A and B are shown apart, each in its own frame.
Chain A
Amino acid sequence: MGFVTPDYGTIFWMFIIFGIVLFILKKFAWGPILKALKDREKSISDALNSAEKARKEVAGLKASNDQIIAEARKEKDIILKEARDIKDKIIAEAKVQANAEAQKGIEIARQQIIAEKDAAISDIKKQVAELSVMIAEKVIKKELENPKDQDILVKDLLKDLKLK
Protein backbone atom coordinates (compact mmCIF):
# COMPACT_ATOMS: atom_id res chain seq x y z
CA MET A 1 0.00 0.00 0.00
CA GLY A 2 2.46 2.57 -1.21
CA PHE A 3 -0.04 5.36 -1.49
CA VAL A 4 -0.83 5.62 2.24
CA THR A 5 2.81 6.21 3.19
CA PRO A 6 3.62 9.86 2.59
CA ASP A 7 6.57 10.31 0.27
CA TYR A 8 9.18 12.63 1.78
CA GLY A 9 10.12 14.04 -1.67
CA THR A 10 6.55 15.13 -2.25
CA ILE A 11 6.33 16.52 1.30
CA PHE A 12 9.54 18.49 0.68
CA TRP A 13 8.30 20.02 -2.60
CA MET A 14 4.79 20.60 -1.32
CA PHE A 15 6.17 22.43 1.72
CA ILE A 16 8.34 24.70 -0.40
CA ILE A 17 5.77 25.33 -3.15
CA PHE A 18 2.80 25.81 -0.85
CA GLY A 19 4.82 28.05 1.45
CA ILE A 20 5.99 30.25 -1.42
CA VAL A 21 2.53 30.38 -2.98
CA LEU A 22 0.97 31.21 0.39
CA PHE A 23 3.47 34.04 0.80
CA ILE A 24 3.04 35.40 -2.76
CA LEU A 25 -0.75 35.20 -2.67
CA LYS A 26 -0.87 36.74 0.81
CA LYS A 27 1.28 39.65 -0.27
CA PHE A 28 0.09 40.25 -3.84
CA ALA A 29 -3.38 38.73 -4.11
CA TRP A 30 -5.34 38.28 -0.89
CA GLY A 31 -4.23 41.60 0.55
CA PRO A 32 -5.43 43.73 -2.37
CA ILE A 33 -8.49 41.56 -3.05
CA LEU A 34 -9.72 41.59 0.55
CA LYS A 35 -8.93 45.28 0.83
CA ALA A 36 -10.86 45.99 -2.38
CA LEU A 37 -13.81 43.98 -1.07
CA LYS A 38 -13.74 45.83 2.22
CA ASP A 39 -13.42 49.21 0.52
CA ARG A 40 -16.24 48.45 -1.87
CA GLU A 41 -18.48 47.23 0.95
CA LYS A 42 -17.64 50.35 2.89
CA SER A 43 -18.34 52.64 -0.05
CA ILE A 44 -21.63 50.84 -0.77
CA SER A 45 -22.76 51.07 2.84
CA ASP A 46 -21.64 54.70 2.93
CA ALA A 47 -23.61 55.40 -0.22
CA LEU A 48 -26.65 53.66 1.22
CA ASN A 49 -26.32 55.57 4.47
CA SER A 50 -26.01 58.91 2.72
CA ALA A 51 -28.98 58.02 0.50
CA GLU A 52 -30.97 57.22 3.62
CA LYS A 53 -29.83 60.49 5.16
CA ALA A 54 -30.80 62.39 2.02
CA ARG A 55 -34.18 60.66 2.01
CA LYS A 56 -34.73 61.66 5.62
CA GLU A 57 -33.64 65.19 4.84
CA VAL A 58 -36.05 65.36 1.92
CA ALA A 59 -38.82 64.02 4.16
CA GLY A 60 -37.91 66.66 6.73
CA LEU A 61 -37.89 69.33 4.08
CA LYS A 62 -41.29 68.20 2.87
CA ALA A 63 -42.67 68.30 6.39
CA SER A 64 -41.28 71.78 6.96
CA ASN A 65 -42.58 72.81 3.54
CA ASP A 66 -46.03 71.61 4.50
CA GLN A 67 -45.75 73.51 7.74
CA ILE A 68 -44.69 76.65 5.91
CA ILE A 69 -47.55 76.27 3.44
CA ALA A 70 -50.01 75.75 6.28
CA GLU A 71 -48.67 78.81 8.04
CA ALA A 72 -48.83 80.82 4.85
CA ARG A 73 -52.40 79.72 4.31
CA LYS A 74 -53.28 80.72 7.85
CA GLU A 75 -51.58 84.06 7.36
CA LYS A 76 -53.40 84.50 4.07
CA ASP A 77 -56.71 83.87 5.84
CA ILE A 78 -55.80 86.34 8.53
CA ILE A 79 -54.78 88.95 5.97
CA LEU A 80 -57.93 88.38 3.97
CA LYS A 81 -60.02 88.67 7.09
CA GLU A 82 -58.23 91.83 8.05
CA ALA A 83 -58.72 93.23 4.58
CA ARG A 84 -62.38 92.41 4.74
CA ASP A 85 -62.66 94.08 8.10
CA ILE A 86 -60.82 97.13 6.86
CA LYS A 87 -63.03 97.22 3.79
CA ASP A 88 -66.16 97.02 5.93
CA LYS A 89 -64.82 99.64 8.25
CA ILE A 90 -63.90 101.93 5.38
CA ILE A 91 -67.28 101.43 3.80
CA ALA A 92 -68.99 102.08 7.10
CA GLU A 93 -66.89 105.14 7.73
CA ALA A 94 -67.51 106.37 4.22
CA LYS A 95 -71.20 105.84 4.73
CA VAL A 96 -71.14 107.75 7.97
CA GLN A 97 -69.11 110.50 6.42
CA ALA A 98 -71.33 110.63 3.36
CA ASN A 99 -74.35 110.78 5.60
CA ALA A 100 -72.82 113.54 7.59
CA GLU A 101 -71.86 115.38 4.44
CA ALA A 102 -75.29 114.91 3.01
CA GLN A 103 -76.82 116.03 6.27
CA LYS A 104 -74.58 119.06 6.22
CA GLY A 105 -75.55 119.80 2.62
CA ILE A 106 -79.18 119.35 3.46
CA GLU A 107 -78.74 121.62 6.48
CA ILE A 108 -77.05 124.26 4.39
CA ALA A 109 -79.70 123.87 1.73
CA ARG A 110 -82.40 124.15 4.34
CA GLN A 111 -80.79 127.21 5.82
CA GLN A 112 -80.44 128.68 2.39
CA ILE A 113 -83.99 127.74 1.61
CA ILE A 114 -85.10 129.40 4.85
CA ALA A 115 -82.98 132.42 4.10
CA GLU A 116 -84.30 132.53 0.55
CA LYS A 117 -87.81 132.01 1.81
CA ASP A 118 -87.37 134.78 4.35
CA ALA A 119 -85.91 137.01 1.68
CA ALA A 120 -88.70 136.06 -0.66
CA ILE A 121 -91.27 136.63 2.03
CA SER A 122 -89.81 139.95 2.96
CA ASP A 123 -89.59 140.83 -0.69
CA ILE A 124 -93.17 139.77 -1.21
CA LYS A 125 -94.10 141.72 1.87
CA LYS A 126 -92.29 144.73 0.52
CA GLN A 127 -93.91 144.39 -2.86
CA VAL A 128 -97.26 143.73 -1.29
CA ALA A 129 -96.76 146.83 0.80
CA GLU A 130 -95.75 148.80 -2.21
CA LEU A 131 -98.61 147.39 -4.20
CA SER A 132 -100.90 148.06 -1.29
CA VAL A 133 -99.57 151.55 -1.02
CA MET A 134 -99.96 151.96 -4.73
CA ILE A 135 -103.45 150.48 -4.66
CA ALA A 136 -104.16 152.45 -1.58
CA GLU A 137 -102.93 155.62 -3.27
CA LYS A 138 -105.10 154.93 -6.23
CA VAL A 139 -107.99 153.94 -4.03
CA ILE A 140 -107.41 156.86 -1.78
CA LYS A 141 -107.09 159.20 -4.73
CA LYS A 142 -110.38 157.89 -5.94
CA GLU A 143 -112.02 157.65 -2.51
CA LEU A 144 -110.84 160.96 -1.30
CA GLU A 145 -112.80 162.67 -3.86
CA ASN A 146 -115.61 162.15 -1.36
CA PRO A 147 -114.68 163.46 2.24
CA LYS A 148 -117.03 161.04 3.92
CA ASP A 149 -115.53 158.21 2.35
CA GLN A 150 -112.20 159.59 3.51
CA ASP A 151 -113.14 159.21 7.09
CA ILE A 152 -114.48 155.76 6.75
CA LEU A 153 -111.33 154.66 5.08
CA VAL A 154 -109.09 156.10 7.68
CA LYS A 155 -111.11 154.38 10.30
CA ASP A 156 -110.93 151.07 8.61
CA LEU A 157 -107.24 151.37 8.04
CA LEU A 158 -106.64 152.16 11.60
CA LYS A 159 -108.63 149.18 12.61
CA ASP A 160 -106.60 147.00 10.42
CA LEU A 161 -103.36 148.42 11.71
CA LYS A 162 -104.35 147.60 15.19
CA LEU A 163 -104.86 144.04 14.28
CA LYS A 164 -101.45 143.70 12.86
Chain B
Amino acid sequence: MIRFIRPLLFIIFAVIIGAGTVHASEEAVKSGETGHSEEFNAGKFVIEHVSDAFEWHIATYGKTHISIPLPIILYSSNKGWSFFMSSKFHHGQEAYNGFRIEHEGKNEGKIVELNEAGEVISLPIDLSITKTVAGIFVSVIVLLLIFLSIAKSAKKRVNKAPEGLQNLFEPIIIFIRDEVAKPAIGEHKFEKFMPFLLTAFFFILINNFLGLILPFGLNVTGNIAVTLVLALFTFFITTVNGNKHYWKEIYNPDVPMWLKFPIPLMPIVEFSGVITKPFVLMVRLFANMMAGHMIVTVFVSLIFIFNKLMGVEAGFGVSIISIAFSVFILLLEILVSFIQAYVFTLLSALYFGMATSEHH
Protein backbone atom coordinates (compact mmCIF):
# COMPACT_ATOMS: atom_id res chain seq x y z
CA MET B 1 0.00 0.00 0.00
CA ILE B 2 2.67 2.47 1.14
CA ARG B 3 4.74 1.55 -1.89
CA PHE B 4 2.05 3.17 -4.03
CA ILE B 5 1.29 6.05 -1.71
CA ARG B 6 4.84 7.40 -1.65
CA PRO B 7 5.28 8.00 -5.39
CA LEU B 8 1.73 9.27 -5.57
CA LEU B 9 2.40 11.84 -2.87
CA PHE B 10 5.61 12.84 -4.57
CA ILE B 11 3.71 13.42 -7.81
CA ILE B 12 1.06 15.46 -6.02
CA PHE B 13 3.71 17.62 -4.37
CA ALA B 14 5.56 18.02 -7.63
CA VAL B 15 2.37 19.11 -9.38
CA ILE B 16 1.50 21.57 -6.61
CA ILE B 17 4.97 23.07 -6.54
CA GLY B 18 5.08 23.09 -10.31
CA ALA B 19 1.73 24.86 -10.47
CA GLY B 20 2.93 27.38 -7.92
CA THR B 21 6.09 28.11 -9.84
CA VAL B 22 4.29 28.50 -13.15
CA HIS B 23 1.82 30.75 -11.45
CA ALA B 24 4.68 32.72 -9.94
CA SER B 25 6.30 33.34 -13.28
CA GLU B 26 3.04 34.74 -14.64
CA GLU B 27 2.91 36.97 -11.62
CA ALA B 28 6.41 38.20 -12.27
CA VAL B 29 5.37 39.52 -15.63
CA LYS B 30 2.42 41.33 -14.11
CA SER B 31 4.26 42.97 -11.23
CA GLY B 32 7.04 43.85 -13.63
CA GLU B 33 4.48 45.82 -15.61
CA THR B 34 3.13 47.68 -12.63
CA GLY B 35 6.67 47.99 -11.22
CA HIS B 36 6.38 49.61 -7.82
CA SER B 37 9.21 49.27 -5.32
CA GLU B 38 8.41 48.48 -1.71
CA GLU B 39 10.31 49.65 1.32
CA PHE B 40 11.52 46.93 3.66
CA ASN B 41 9.37 46.87 6.77
CA ALA B 42 10.93 44.64 9.44
CA GLY B 43 7.86 44.47 11.70
CA LYS B 44 5.63 43.48 8.81
CA PHE B 45 8.23 40.98 7.59
CA VAL B 46 8.42 39.26 10.98
CA ILE B 47 4.66 39.22 11.57
CA GLU B 48 4.01 37.91 8.06
CA HIS B 49 6.44 35.07 8.65
CA VAL B 50 4.83 33.90 11.86
CA SER B 51 1.22 34.55 10.85
CA ASP B 52 -1.12 32.37 8.92
CA ALA B 53 -1.65 33.05 5.22
CA PHE B 54 -3.96 32.05 2.41
CA GLU B 55 -1.09 30.86 0.23
CA TRP B 56 2.07 28.93 0.98
CA HIS B 57 4.77 31.45 0.35
CA ILE B 58 8.15 29.85 -0.29
CA ALA B 59 10.41 32.59 -1.59
CA THR B 60 10.44 35.97 -3.25
CA TYR B 61 13.01 36.53 -5.95
CA GLY B 62 13.06 40.11 -7.09
CA LYS B 63 9.41 40.81 -7.71
CA THR B 64 8.56 37.15 -8.22
CA HIS B 65 6.62 35.53 -5.42
CA ILE B 66 7.09 31.78 -5.43
CA SER B 67 4.18 30.32 -3.57
CA ILE B 68 1.84 27.36 -3.56
CA PRO B 69 -1.79 28.44 -4.01
CA LEU B 70 -4.15 26.92 -1.45
CA PRO B 71 -7.90 26.36 -1.64
CA ILE B 72 -10.18 29.08 -0.30
CA ILE B 73 -13.46 27.84 1.14
CA LEU B 74 -16.01 30.53 2.01
CA TYR B 75 -19.65 30.66 2.98
CA SER B 76 -21.59 33.88 2.81
CA SER B 77 -25.30 34.33 3.26
CA ASN B 78 -25.50 36.15 -0.10
CA LYS B 79 -23.47 33.81 -2.33
CA GLY B 80 -23.60 30.48 -0.51
CA TRP B 81 -20.47 28.31 -0.70
CA SER B 82 -17.52 29.46 -2.81
CA PHE B 83 -14.46 27.39 -3.59
CA PHE B 84 -11.45 28.74 -5.46
CA MET B 85 -7.66 28.75 -5.29
CA SER B 86 -5.87 31.54 -3.47
CA SER B 87 -3.96 32.31 -6.66
CA LYS B 88 -7.11 34.13 -7.84
CA PHE B 89 -6.27 36.88 -5.31
CA HIS B 90 -2.85 37.43 -6.95
CA HIS B 91 -1.08 37.49 -3.59
CA GLY B 92 -3.84 39.50 -2.05
CA GLN B 93 -3.54 42.34 -4.54
CA GLU B 94 -6.82 41.77 -6.37
CA ALA B 95 -10.41 41.02 -5.55
CA TYR B 96 -12.06 37.91 -6.94
CA ASN B 97 -15.72 37.09 -7.23
CA GLY B 98 -16.64 39.76 -4.74
CA PHE B 99 -14.08 38.69 -2.12
CA ARG B 100 -10.92 40.45 -1.10
CA ILE B 101 -8.18 40.01 1.51
CA GLU B 102 -8.26 43.04 3.75
CA HIS B 103 -4.82 44.52 4.42
CA GLU B 104 -5.63 47.09 7.04
CA GLY B 105 -8.25 48.09 9.57
CA LYS B 106 -9.95 45.82 12.07
CA ASN B 107 -10.36 42.98 9.59
CA GLU B 108 -6.69 42.92 8.63
CA GLY B 109 -5.67 39.57 7.13
CA LYS B 110 -9.26 38.38 6.77
CA ILE B 111 -11.33 37.78 3.68
CA VAL B 112 -14.18 40.28 3.32
CA GLU B 113 -17.15 40.28 1.00
CA LEU B 114 -17.68 43.26 -1.28
CA ASN B 115 -20.71 44.60 -3.04
CA GLU B 116 -20.71 45.86 -6.65
CA ALA B 117 -19.45 49.27 -5.60
CA GLY B 118 -16.42 47.66 -3.92
CA GLU B 119 -17.55 48.38 -0.37
CA VAL B 120 -17.12 45.88 2.40
CA ILE B 121 -20.51 44.42 3.28
CA SER B 122 -19.78 41.39 5.48
CA LEU B 123 -17.32 38.81 6.74
CA PRO B 124 -17.97 35.42 5.13
CA ILE B 125 -17.51 32.23 7.14
CA ASP B 126 -13.94 31.28 6.27
CA LEU B 127 -12.97 27.58 6.30
CA SER B 128 -10.05 28.01 3.90
CA ILE B 129 -7.14 25.62 3.80
CA THR B 130 -4.67 28.21 5.01
CA LYS B 131 -0.92 27.73 5.25
CA THR B 132 -1.32 26.39 8.78
CA VAL B 133 -4.04 23.93 7.76
CA ALA B 134 -1.93 22.80 4.81
CA GLY B 135 0.96 22.40 7.26
CA ILE B 136 -1.28 20.29 9.50
CA PHE B 137 -2.14 18.13 6.49
CA VAL B 138 1.53 17.68 5.54
CA SER B 139 2.59 16.86 9.10
CA VAL B 140 -0.30 14.46 9.51
CA ILE B 141 0.62 12.66 6.30
CA VAL B 142 4.21 12.36 7.56
CA LEU B 143 2.89 11.14 10.91
CA LEU B 144 0.66 8.52 9.29
CA LEU B 145 3.37 7.32 6.88
CA ILE B 146 5.89 6.89 9.67
CA PHE B 147 3.70 5.21 12.24
CA LEU B 148 1.63 3.03 9.94
CA SER B 149 4.85 1.64 8.49
CA ILE B 150 6.19 1.09 12.00
CA ALA B 151 2.96 -0.66 12.95
CA LYS B 152 3.31 -2.85 9.85
CA SER B 153 6.84 -3.90 10.71
CA ALA B 154 5.82 -4.35 14.36
CA LYS B 155 3.10 -6.75 13.27
CA LYS B 156 5.40 -8.57 10.86
CA ARG B 157 8.39 -8.93 13.15
CA VAL B 158 6.77 -10.41 16.24
CA ASN B 159 9.21 -10.77 19.15
CA LYS B 160 12.14 -9.82 16.94
CA ALA B 161 14.57 -6.93 17.24
CA PRO B 162 13.19 -3.69 15.74
CA GLU B 163 14.53 -2.45 12.40
CA GLY B 164 14.73 0.80 10.47
CA LEU B 165 12.17 3.44 11.44
CA GLN B 166 10.88 1.15 14.16
CA ASN B 167 14.34 1.23 15.69
CA LEU B 168 14.41 5.03 15.58
CA PHE B 169 11.00 5.67 17.15
CA GLU B 170 10.63 2.78 19.59
CA PRO B 171 12.96 4.30 22.20
CA ILE B 172 10.89 7.50 22.08
CA ILE B 173 7.64 5.55 22.40
CA ILE B 174 9.12 3.59 25.31
CA PHE B 175 10.31 6.85 26.86
CA ILE B 176 6.79 8.32 26.67
CA ARG B 177 5.35 5.13 28.11
CA ASP B 178 7.85 4.49 30.91
CA GLU B 179 9.02 8.00 31.85
CA VAL B 180 5.92 10.07 31.15
CA ALA B 181 2.71 8.04 31.22
CA LYS B 182 3.51 5.39 33.83
CA PRO B 183 4.81 7.69 36.61
CA ALA B 184 2.23 10.41 35.95
CA ILE B 185 -0.91 8.32 35.50
CA GLY B 186 -0.09 5.12 37.30
CA GLU B 187 0.76 1.56 36.41
CA HIS B 188 -2.82 0.38 35.85
CA LYS B 189 -4.53 3.22 34.00
CA PHE B 190 -1.87 4.64 31.71
CA GLU B 191 -2.65 2.39 28.74
CA LYS B 192 -5.97 4.11 28.03
CA PHE B 193 -4.23 7.48 27.57
CA MET B 194 -1.24 6.28 25.56
CA PRO B 195 -2.77 6.86 22.07
CA PHE B 196 -3.50 10.52 22.77
CA LEU B 197 -0.16 11.15 24.52
CA LEU B 198 1.81 9.56 21.68
CA THR B 199 -0.21 11.27 18.94
CA ALA B 200 0.11 14.66 20.64
CA PHE B 201 3.83 14.19 21.27
CA PHE B 202 4.70 13.19 17.73
CA PHE B 203 2.30 15.71 16.17
CA ILE B 204 3.94 18.53 18.13
CA LEU B 205 7.45 17.20 17.52
CA ILE B 206 6.99 16.79 13.77
CA ASN B 207 5.39 20.23 13.44
CA ASN B 208 8.13 21.83 15.53
CA PHE B 209 10.70 20.30 13.20
CA LEU B 210 8.79 21.21 10.05
CA GLY B 211 8.72 24.76 11.39
CA LEU B 212 12.51 24.74 11.57
CA ILE B 213 12.85 24.07 7.86
CA LEU B 214 12.94 27.72 6.85
CA PRO B 215 11.95 27.66 3.16
CA PHE B 216 8.60 26.14 4.04
CA GLY B 217 8.04 28.71 6.76
CA LEU B 218 5.49 26.56 8.51
CA ASN B 219 4.42 27.69 11.94
CA VAL B 220 1.82 25.12 12.93
CA THR B 221 2.64 24.68 16.61
CA GLY B 222 3.23 28.44 16.82
CA ASN B 223 -0.39 28.98 15.80
CA ILE B 224 -2.67 29.55 18.74
CA ALA B 225 -5.64 27.80 17.09
CA VAL B 226 -3.64 24.58 16.77
CA THR B 227 -2.39 24.64 20.37
CA LEU B 228 -5.92 25.55 21.46
CA VAL B 229 -7.30 22.39 19.87
CA LEU B 230 -4.51 20.25 21.36
CA ALA B 231 -5.18 21.73 24.80
CA LEU B 232 -8.92 21.21 24.33
CA PHE B 233 -8.31 17.53 23.61
CA THR B 234 -6.37 17.28 26.87
CA PHE B 235 -9.17 19.14 28.65
CA PHE B 236 -11.90 16.89 27.23
CA ILE B 237 -10.03 13.70 28.01
CA THR B 238 -9.36 14.94 31.56
CA THR B 239 -12.99 15.93 32.08
CA VAL B 240 -14.46 12.75 30.61
CA ASN B 241 -12.17 10.53 32.66
CA GLY B 242 -12.44 12.52 35.88
CA ASN B 243 -13.50 10.19 38.71
CA LYS B 244 -15.53 10.90 41.83
CA HIS B 245 -12.45 11.89 43.79
CA TYR B 246 -11.42 14.42 41.12
CA TRP B 247 -14.80 16.16 41.12
CA LYS B 248 -15.01 16.10 44.90
CA GLU B 249 -11.65 17.90 45.07
CA ILE B 250 -13.10 20.58 42.84
CA TYR B 251 -16.59 21.08 44.31
CA ASN B 252 -16.00 20.06 47.91
CA PRO B 253 -12.27 20.14 48.71
CA ASP B 254 -10.93 19.20 52.16
CA VAL B 255 -10.62 22.73 53.52
CA PRO B 256 -12.18 24.52 56.52
CA MET B 257 -15.89 25.19 56.11
CA TRP B 258 -15.56 28.99 56.02
CA LEU B 259 -13.61 28.67 52.77
CA LYS B 260 -16.58 26.92 51.17
CA PHE B 261 -19.58 28.56 52.81
CA PRO B 262 -21.26 31.01 52.37
CA ILE B 263 -18.86 32.13 49.61
CA PRO B 264 -17.52 29.05 47.76
CA LEU B 265 -13.98 30.43 47.67
CA MET B 266 -12.03 27.20 47.23
CA PRO B 267 -14.40 25.68 44.67
CA ILE B 268 -13.99 28.83 42.58
CA VAL B 269 -10.20 28.57 42.84
CA GLU B 270 -10.26 24.87 42.02
CA PHE B 271 -12.61 25.39 39.12
CA SER B 272 -10.48 28.17 37.70
CA GLY B 273 -7.58 25.69 37.95
CA VAL B 274 -9.49 23.31 35.68
CA ILE B 275 -9.73 26.03 33.04
CA THR B 276 -6.23 27.38 33.63
CA LYS B 277 -4.50 24.05 33.05
CA PRO B 278 -5.41 23.65 29.36
CA PHE B 279 -5.04 27.41 28.86
CA VAL B 280 -1.47 27.25 30.13
CA LEU B 281 -0.79 24.24 27.87
CA MET B 282 -2.06 26.23 24.91
CA VAL B 283 -0.13 29.39 25.65
CA ARG B 284 3.15 27.69 26.57
CA LEU B 285 3.48 25.73 23.34
CA PHE B 286 2.23 28.62 21.20
CA ALA B 287 4.48 31.22 22.81
CA ASN B 288 7.61 29.08 22.75
CA MET B 289 7.33 28.13 19.12
CA MET B 290 6.19 31.58 18.05
CA ALA B 291 9.09 33.22 19.90
CA GLY B 292 11.64 30.90 18.31
CA HIS B 293 10.34 31.69 14.82
CA MET B 294 10.23 35.38 15.56
CA ILE B 295 13.80 35.51 16.85
CA VAL B 296 15.12 33.79 13.72
CA THR B 297 13.19 36.13 11.43
CA VAL B 298 14.26 39.16 13.47
CA PHE B 299 17.92 38.19 13.11
CA VAL B 300 17.45 37.75 9.38
CA SER B 301 15.67 41.10 9.04
CA LEU B 302 18.54 42.77 10.94
CA ILE B 303 20.63 42.18 7.81
CA PHE B 304 18.19 44.15 5.68
CA ILE B 305 17.76 46.92 8.25
CA PHE B 306 21.51 47.51 8.46
CA ASN B 307 21.75 47.22 4.71
CA LYS B 308 19.21 50.02 4.32
CA LEU B 309 20.52 52.24 7.11
CA MET B 310 24.29 52.03 6.65
CA GLY B 311 24.81 50.62 3.21
CA VAL B 312 25.72 47.27 1.71
CA GLU B 313 28.95 46.83 3.72
CA ALA B 314 27.14 47.10 7.05
CA GLY B 315 24.58 44.65 5.73
CA PHE B 316 27.31 42.14 4.92
CA GLY B 317 29.00 42.69 8.26
CA VAL B 318 25.82 42.23 10.21
CA SER B 319 24.84 39.24 8.11
CA ILE B 320 27.76 37.25 9.51
CA ILE B 321 26.65 37.89 13.09
CA SER B 322 22.99 37.48 12.20
CA ILE B 323 23.57 34.16 10.50
CA ALA B 324 25.69 32.95 13.40
CA PHE B 325 22.94 33.92 15.83
CA SER B 326 20.24 32.42 13.61
CA VAL B 327 22.13 29.14 13.47
CA PHE B 328 22.52 29.24 17.24
CA ILE B 329 18.82 29.95 17.72
CA LEU B 330 17.91 27.20 15.26
CA LEU B 331 20.02 24.70 17.20
CA LEU B 332 18.36 25.92 20.37
CA GLU B 333 15.00 25.50 18.65
CA ILE B 334 15.79 21.83 17.96
CA LEU B 335 16.20 21.40 21.70
CA VAL B 336 13.09 23.48 22.38
CA SER B 337 11.13 21.34 19.89
CA PHE B 338 11.85 18.26 21.95
CA ILE B 339 11.33 19.99 25.28
CA GLN B 340 7.99 21.53 24.30
CA ALA B 341 6.66 18.28 22.87
CA TYR B 342 7.83 16.54 26.05
CA VAL B 343 6.39 19.19 28.37
CA PHE B 344 3.01 19.18 26.64
CA THR B 345 2.83 15.39 26.85
CA LEU B 346 4.06 15.30 30.45
CA LEU B 347 1.60 17.92 31.64
CA SER B 348 -1.28 16.23 29.80
CA ALA B 349 -0.26 12.96 31.45
CA LEU B 350 -0.14 14.68 34.86
CA TYR B 351 -3.64 16.10 34.35
CA PHE B 352 -4.91 12.66 33.34
CA GLY B 353 -3.21 11.26 36.42
CA MET B 354 -4.94 13.84 38.63
CA ALA B 355 -8.30 13.04 37.06
CA THR B 356 -7.96 9.31 37.63
CA SER B 357 -6.06 9.09 40.93
CA GLU B 358 -7.94 7.40 43.77
CA HIS B 359 -6.34 9.16 46.74
CA HIS B 360 -3.55 11.60 47.56
Interface residues of A (CB under 8 A from B): 2-15, 17-18, 21-22, 24-26, 28-37, 39-40, 43
Q: Is B196 an interface residue (CB 8 A)?
A: yes
Closest Cβ of chain A to B30, distance in Å, is 27
Residues on the A chain within 8 Å of B229, using CB: 11, 14-15, 18
CB pair B52–A39 under 8 Å, yes or no, is no
Answer whether A25 and B198 are a contact pair too, CB < 8 Å, given A7-B225, A13-B136: yes
Contact among B136, B228, B233 with A17 in the assembled complex (CB-CB below 8 Å): B136
Within the assembled complex, what's the spacing in Å between the Cα atoms of A13 and B194?
Answer: 23
Within the assembled complex, what's the spacing in Å between the Cα atoms of A11 and B130?
Answer: 11
Q: Is B344 an interface residue (CB 8 A)?
A: no
Answer whether A11 and B228 are a contact pair too, CB < 8 Å, given A2-B109, A37-B174, A40-B159: yes
Complex interface bits, B343-355 against A, C-beta within 8 A gives 1, otherwise 0: 0000000000000
CB pair B148–A10 under 8 Å, yes or no, is no
CB pair A13–B203 under 8 Å, yes or no, is no
Q: Is B39 an interface residue (CB 8 A)?
A: no
Give the nearest-CB partner of A26 in chain B: B195
Residues on the A chain within 8 Å of B191, using CB: 34
Residues on the A chain within 8 Å of B51, using CB: 2-3
Output the residue of A3, A5, A26, A31 with the most chain B CB within 10 A: A3
Residues on the B chain within 8 Å of A17, using CB: 133, 136-137, 140
CB pair A26–B199 under 8 Å, yes or no, is yes
Contact among A4, A15, A29 with B224 in the assembled complex (CB-CB below 8 Å): A4
Interface residues of B in 145-183 (CB under 8 A from A): 147-148, 150-151, 154-155, 157-160, 170, 173-174, 177
CB pair A25–B199 under 8 Å, yes or no, is yes
CB pair B136–A14 under 8 Å, yes or no, is yes
Give the nearest-CB partner of A5 in chain B: B224
CB pair B159–A28 under 8 Å, yes or no, is no
Within the assembled complex, what's the spacing in Å between the Cα atoms of A24 and B127?
Answer: 23
Output the residue of B52, B130, B151, B170 with the most chain A CB within 10 A: B151
Residues on the A chain within 8 Å of B194, using CB: 30, 34
The count of residues in chain B whose C-beta lies closer than 8 Å to any C-beta of chain A is 49
Within the assembled complex, what's the spacing in Å between the Cα atoms of A2 and B25?
Answer: 30
Closest Cβ of chain B to A29, distance in Å, is 4
Top 6 A-B residue pairs of the complex, sorted by shortest distance between their CB atoms: A36-B154, A10-B225, A26-B195, A29-B147, A6-B225, A14-B229
CB pair B151–A29 under 8 Å, yes or no, is yes
Answer whether A10 and B173 are a contact pair too, CB < 8 Å, given A25-B144, A25-B198: no
Query: What does DSSP make chain A's interface, helix, strand, loop or mixed?
Result: helix
Residues on the B chain within 8 Å of A13, using CB: 127, 129, 133, 136
Q: In the complex, given contacts A3-B47, A10-B223, A29-B151, what are 17 additional A-B residue pairs having Cβ atoms less than 8 angstroms apart?
A: A6-B225, A7-B225, A9-B126, A10-B225, A11-B229, A14-B225, A18-B140, A18-B233, A21-B140, A22-B196, A22-B199, A28-B151, A29-B150, A31-B151, A32-B154, A34-B191, A37-B173
Residues on the A chain within 8 Å of B226, using CB: 10, 14
Residues on the A chain within 8 Å of B127, using CB: 9, 12-13
Give the nearest-CB partner of B152 in chain A: A32
Interface residues of B in 196-246 (CB under 8 A from A): 196, 198-199, 203, 223-226, 228-230, 232-233
Interface residues of B (CB under 8 A from A): 47, 50-52, 108-109, 126-130, 132-133, 136-137, 140, 143-144, 147-148, 150-151, 154-155, 157-160, 170, 173-174, 177, 191, 194-196, 198-199, 203, 223-226, 228-230, 232-233, 290
CB pair A25–B147 under 8 Å, yes or no, is yes
Give the nearest-CB partner of B74 in chain A: A9
Residues on the A chain within 8 Å of B230, using CB: 18
Residues on the A chain within 8 Å of B154, using CB: 32-33, 35-37
CB pair A32–B151 under 8 Å, yes or no, is yes
Contact among A5, A22, A31, A33 with B173 in the assembled complex (CB-CB below 8 Å): A33
Output the residue of A10, A12, A43 with the most chain B CB within 10 A: A10
Residues on the B chain within 8 Å of A14, using CB: 133, 136, 225-226, 229
Residues on the A chain within 8 Å of B148, using CB: 28-29
Closest Cβ of chain A to B136, distance in Å, is 5
Give the nearest-CB partner of B282 in chain A: A6
Answer whether A32 and B155 are a contact pair too, CB < 8 Å, given A2-B51, A3-B47, A21-B199: yes
Give the nearest-CB partner of B153 in chain A: A36
10 of the cross-chain contacts (CB-CB < 8 Å) are A6-B224, A7-B52, A14-B133, A18-B233, A22-B199, A22-B233, A28-B148, A28-B151, A31-B151, A33-B150
